[in-house]
């Protein structure tokens, strides 16, 4: 399968700078969407919590998805493709914004029918390492009536993003309040965060 990267770099930089977020469809080719979706169905998932470290708790009134963390040493071709794309975007952001991004944490996420995630920020109050959120959607044949949209709470009002296959959204983790609306069918994505940390590049788990 081809590993072509189809991110519109110039528009990403302009909109992330001007608005704090950027959305693009058709970033991941169909064959890779299928490979990532197949892999997602084979992985082991845990119920997602809220909070960080020992303060992480399960609260299904706030979020009801499950996650499967990605190890940077995984050698599945679909994961390698994903991490290659992530690295190229990280290099782009560092080159244009001098953010000093030197780490990434990412996982597969699955929302069963009826699942949601209430409004939240991706940056912890006592830990500002997360700088930019990056999400890729791998939901094939997604329709608006399926629900599960990402809703951005912006100064000018709410912006609803459809989680269609192969699309990508990135936004400033500390600045954009957002939520996942209830989904009517299973919803799958790859969610991650570029982080700033002293020392060598590494992934969190």
Lowest mean pLDDT among 56-60, 96-100, 182-186: 56-60
In a domain, 78, yes or no: yes
Burial class (CB in 10 A: 0-12, 13-18, 19+), 107: buried
169: β partners = 23, 135
Residue 57 lies in a domain: no
Give me the number of domains the chain comprises. 1
Q: Does residue 149 belong to any structural domain of this protein?
A: yes
CATH code at position 185: 2.60.120.620
Mean predicted confidence (pLDDT) in 84-112: 92
Residue 167 lies in a domain: yes
Exposure on the CB side of residue 184, measured as CA atoms within 13 A: 6
Q: How confident is the model at residue 54 (pLDDT cuts 50, 70, 90)?
A: very low
Residue 125: pLDDT band by 50, 70, 90 thresholds?
A: low
Residue by residue, DSSP assigns the chain as: --------HHHHHHHHHHTSEEEESS-S-HHHHHHHHHHHHHS--EE--BSSGGG-B--TTTB--EEEEPPTT---HHHHHHHHHHHHHHHHHHHHH-----EEEEEEEEE-TT--EEEE-SSBTTB--EEEEEEEE--TT--GGGB--EEEEETTEEEEE---TT-EEEEETTT-EEEEPPBSS-EEEEEEEEE--SSS-B---
Q: What pTM value is reported for the model?
A: 0.90
- 3 within domain boundaries: no
Per-residue pLDDT for 138 more than 50?
A: yes
Residue 59 within a domain: no
Q: Is residue 20 part of a domain?
A: yes
Residue 200 lies in a domain: no
| Contact status, residue 196 vs residue 81, Cβ threshold 8 Å | no
Domain range enclosing 139: 9-48+64-195
Q: How far is CA 58 from the centre of its chain?
A: 20
């Amino acid at each position: 399968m081809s590993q072509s990267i189809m991110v519109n770099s110039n528009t990403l930089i302009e909109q992330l700078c001007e608005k704090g977020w950027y959305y693009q469809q058709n970033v991941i080719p169909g064959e890779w969407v299928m490979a990532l979706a197949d892999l997602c169905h084979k992985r082991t998932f845990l119920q997602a919590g809220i909070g960080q470290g020992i303060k992480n708790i399960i609260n299904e009134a706030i979020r009801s998805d499950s996650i499967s963390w990605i190890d940077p040493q995984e050698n599945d071709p679909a994961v390698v493709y994903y991490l290659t794309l992530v690295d190229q975007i990280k290099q782009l952001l560092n080159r244009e914004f001098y953010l000093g991004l030197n780490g990434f944490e990412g996982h597969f996420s699955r929302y069963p029918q009826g699942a949601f995630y209430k409004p939240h920020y991706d940056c912890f109050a006592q830990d500002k390492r997360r700088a930019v959120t990056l999400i890729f959607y791998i939901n094939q044949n997604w329709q608006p009536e399926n629900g599960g949209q990402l809703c951005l709470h912006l100064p000018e009002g709410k912006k609803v993003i459809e989680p269609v296959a192969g699309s990508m959204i990135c936004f400033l983790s500390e600045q954009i309040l957002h939520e996942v609306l209830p989904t009517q069918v299973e919803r799958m994505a790859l969610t991650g965060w570029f982080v700033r940390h002293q020392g060598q590049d590494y992934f969190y788990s």
